[in-house]
Amino acid sequence: MAQRKNNKSHSRKEVKTPPVESKNGKKTEGGGAGGGAGGGPKYSVFTWVVVLGLLGVWSSMAVVYFDIVDYDSVIARAKEFRLNFSDVLQGKLMAYDTDGDGDFDVEDAKVLLGLKEAEPGAVGASPETTGASERIVEPTNQQAAQQQGEEPKEATSGDPAAEETPSASGSHDVESEIQAAVPLPSIEDDFIPDDPREDVAHPYEDEVDTIDTTGVLVEEPPSQESIVDSGRYVTSSEVTQESEPAVTAEEPSESPAEPPPEPEQQPEPVLEPEPVLAAEPEPAPEPEQQPQPEPEPVLEPESQPQTETRPETGSVPEAEGSTEKLKEKAKKKKPKLFNKFDKTIKAEIDAAEKLRKKGKVDEALRAFESLVQQYPQSPRARYGKAQAEDDVAEKLRSNDMLQRAINTYREAAELPDATSDLLMAALKRRAERQQFLGRMRGSLVTLERLVQIFPEDISLKNDLGVAHLLLGDNKGAKKVYEQVLAAAPNNGFAKVHYGFILKSENKIAESIPYLKEGLESGEPGTDDGRFYFHLGDALQRVGDNSAYHWYELGHQRGHFASVWQRSLYNVEGLKAQPWWTPKETGYTDLVKMLERNWKTIRDEALAVMDRNTGQFIPEEENLREKGEWGQYTLWQQGKKVGNSCQGVPKTCSLLEKHPEATGCKRGQIKFSVMHPGTHVWPHTGPTNCRLRMHLGLVIPKQGCRIRCTTETRQWEEGKVLIFDDSFEHEVWQDADSYRLIFIVDVWHPELTAYQRQTLSPI
């Protein structure tokens, strides 16, 4: 190929080129004008430039297309690497700074060469500065050494110079990441390393040691105050709050327990455990302590009822109050569950506790069981095992597993060197779970032991009083609360319970101040529907109209459906009205049967009365102000009562065809005889799940009447009255002879078949 010469664009010096051999074997001199054939070079410089340029373009395209180089990473690292080489060199030479002026200069060089003596003061101060400088630039120096073929020296954990020290500029040390010779083990996001400088207390010990009250590890210590259910005990079917045993929420800081939310339950720091309520609350055969929200200050009974108002969110008083609460929490001491030995295996316990906290209860249980086998003398490991068993029992709904947890709580408390906080936590939780299983006497024994160990703890005595009430031992409970009030006269929890006991003893006037002051205290455990119920009832019996003020407060706080409807075992959403017609109930066949056969029913009842009036048992619910009121019961809680139907076989035969009555587990079927001069106090039934039918059998012409809310009616022989006895009702018998009626309770018509089957009996 002949080369074209462009004289205008090229003016370069001719260079003697080596001879080039042509096709015919003759040698020619290159670099000349190249006019003759074969006289010039075979390829020109321009051609090579073009070829190389094309190769570069294709190479660049290949690099980009196949993503051979991560340009983003290169650019990012280039931006981060801002150390100037001269700065690095200067930093390295600062080790030879002999005059203490912060850099290496001519004067320092003279000292190194022996031409000048070092200044003593400066030399003495230089090592610290030098050491710091070496640590700052060490990664870069190591890189420079690698570039020169030297291997960097691997830092060890024991070398102080190897410790990471933030640079003065605060910039991220990219080079230290590049220099890492050995990959580090992966670290979990929530992993918190132990502080090697602490040999006794662990900075995160309190978080792990905090008493678990919800089945998970508590991060914020709850209040030291402890409360118990203010009345889960059953003292009267008319006034017992309904709940269904399930899983309990845990107690506050003094209470160890954890279970089965809480709440969940967030949680108020002073809430007590209670079985979780189902869609329809039911009375628990094994009462469990019930969480009560901390009430607002109660209005004075003399004042008129009024709607409660709350400050707006973000208001200054509320903000100040929350700040004070935070300060108080910070001041309160967190419970310590680790003894000296437990702290030596804290890492292993924390790992097992972490599994439990994450809800991996089966794995947590296996981990704690392994720890107990390895370290049988560790109270904290055994307490963790009990908590894990408690969690598994909740998960499986297993009473056997829960009994295992109860036993393990005892074992943890009996180990030597158990801390006082762990001892209290384990025994309190044990008592709660015993109550949950219905082992009331065992719970009482556990609480008595707690009171012996911690005699100054008022909350434990309050719990002990409740345990007596759960057993129906009002005298034992009264004695305990008298001791509490002697030591702490203003304890609101003890006051409401003591007032409740006095009222059950029919000491109406004496009970009022205790109930009233206890509710006004607003202390945890006092805001309970039973106490509003009994205070209002006591005030009514002494003729004090402020009773309805307290009923209104109870309604405002969600304890009552209304001022008039004050039942405590309720299913939400049921139609609520005081009086009903047969058509509204849907039980017209039952009503017609009763009214058609009323004489047969009456005659059998009179025959029973004539043969043995003792079969009519006096009313025992303390509802009478005066007079005589007897009852003869055929069905109770959906079951026949003994041999009662043998005296009235025809009546029972008629009723067995109507399961809405005989299968009503929350009602009764009975004869009721009331003698002249009897007055029944205003009262309400225990549940809104039933309606009550009254069939008149023997009715005096005048003087017998019944009021439900604001409407008063009279009975008629052979006719049925239907009302909802969850509303307030009152009865007068001012006639000259007895009144005899037949009472038939039926399921509320809006209850489903499933609800009728699963609701607990009352």
Q: Which DSSP string do the residues of 689-707 spell out, in sequence order?
A: SEEEEEEEEE--SSSEEEE
379 belongs to a structural domain: yes
CA distance 330 to 31: 93
CA distances for 509 relative to 340, 474, 482, 503, angstroms: 55, 18, 18, 8
Q: How far apart are CA 93 and CA 129, in angstroms?
A: 12
Cα separation, 240 vs 230, in Å, equals: 11
Burial degree of 166 (CB within 10 A; 0-12, 13-18, 19+): exposed
Q: Is residue 174 part of a domain?
A: no
Contact indicator for 732, 679 with CB cutoff of 8 Å: yes
* Region for residue 210 given its phi and psi (left: phi exceeds 0; alpha: psi -120 to 50; beta: otherwise): beta
Whether residue 385 contacts residue 368, with contact meaning beta carbons closer than 8 Å, is answered with: yes
Tokens of residue 123, six digits: 């030399």
Claim to verify: residue 702 and residue 627 sit in the same structural domain: yes
337, 418 Cβ separation under 8 angstroms = no
Give domain status of residue 717, yes or no: yes
Q: What is the DSSP letter of 249?
A: P
CB 96 within 8 A of CB 148: no
Residues 493, 610: one domain? no
Residue 586 lies inside a defined structural domain of this protein: yes
Same domain, 553 and 593: no
CATH number at residue 538: 1.25.40.10
- The DSSP bridge pattern shows strands 20-21 and 639-640 to be unpaired
CA–CA separation, 623 and 293 (whole Å): 30
Same domain, residue pair 658 and 699: yes
Element (H, E) at 451: helix 440-453
- Token duo for residue 570: 């309720």
User: In 3D, which of 699, 747, 721 has the Cα closest to residue 591?
Assistant: 721
What span, in angstroms and rounded, lies between the C-alpha atoms of 569 and 594?
28
HSE-CB at 353 with a 13 A cutoff on CA atoms is 25
Nearest in space to 266 (alpha carbons), one of 279, 249, 246, 289: 249
Strands 739-747, 668-674: pairing kind:
antiparallel
Cβ atoms 569, 241 nearer than 8 A = yes
Q: Which residues of 530-559 are buried (b: 16+ CB within 10 A; e: fewer)?
A: bbbbbbbbbbbbeebebbbbbbbbbbbbeb
pLDDT score at 52 = 83
In a domain, 109, yes or no: no
Of 493, 523, 557, the domain-final residue:
557
Q: In what order do the strands lie in the sheet with 704-708?
A: 624-626, 678-683, 729-733, 704-708, 711-713
Joined tokens for residue 599: 């004489």
Whether residue 591 is contained in a domain is answered as: yes
Report the amino acid identity of residue 265: Q
547 plus 596 within the same structural domain = no
pLDDT below 50 — which residues of the chain? 1-40, 82-86, 88-89, 121-323, 326, 330
Tell me the per-residue pLDDT of 236-276, one tens digit each, with 9 for 90 and over: 333 334 433 333 333 333 333 333 333 333 333 333 333 33
| Domain boundaries, position 650 | 579-758
So what's the pLDDT on residue 609? 86
What 8-state DSSP symbol labels residue 21?
E
Query: Looking at the structure, do residues 548 and 609 belong to the same domain, yes or no?
Result: no
Q: What CATH number is attached to the domain comprising 722? A: 2.60.120.330
Question: Rg (Cα) of the chain, in Å, rounded?
Answer: 45
Residue carrying structure tokens 């290949």 = 62
Query: CB–CB of 514/489 below 8 Å?
Result: no
pLDDT digits (tens, 9 = 90+) for 615-646: 688 888 889 999 999 999 999 999 999 999 99
Q: Is 491 exposed, middle or buried (0-12, 13-18, 19+ CB in 10 A)?
A: buried
Q: Give the span between the Cα atoms of 195 and 597, in whole angstroms.
A: 86
Q: In angstroms, how far is the first alpha carbon of the chain from the final one? A: 115
**Number of neighbours of residue 573 by Cβ within 10 angstroms:** 10
- 400 exposure class (CB count in 10 Å sphere: 0-12, 13-18, 19+): exposed
Domain check: are 544 and 679 in the same one?
Answer: no
Specify whether 541 is located in the same domain as 638: no
Are 643 and 705 part of one and the same domain? yes
Same domain, 406 and 352: yes
Q: Are residues 668 and 735 in the same domain?
A: yes
Number of domains the chain is built from? 2
Q: What DSSP string runs through 586-647?
A: T-HHHHHHHHHTHHHHHHHHHHHHHH-GGGSEEP-SS-EEES-EEEEEEEETTEE-TTGGGT
Those residues whose C-beta lies under 8 Å from the C-beta of residue 487, and which sit 6 or more positions away, are: 458
Q: How many residues does the chain have?
A: 762
Question: Do 584 and 467 have their domain in common?
Answer: no
For residue 151, is it within any domain?
no
**Is 263 domain-assigned?**
no
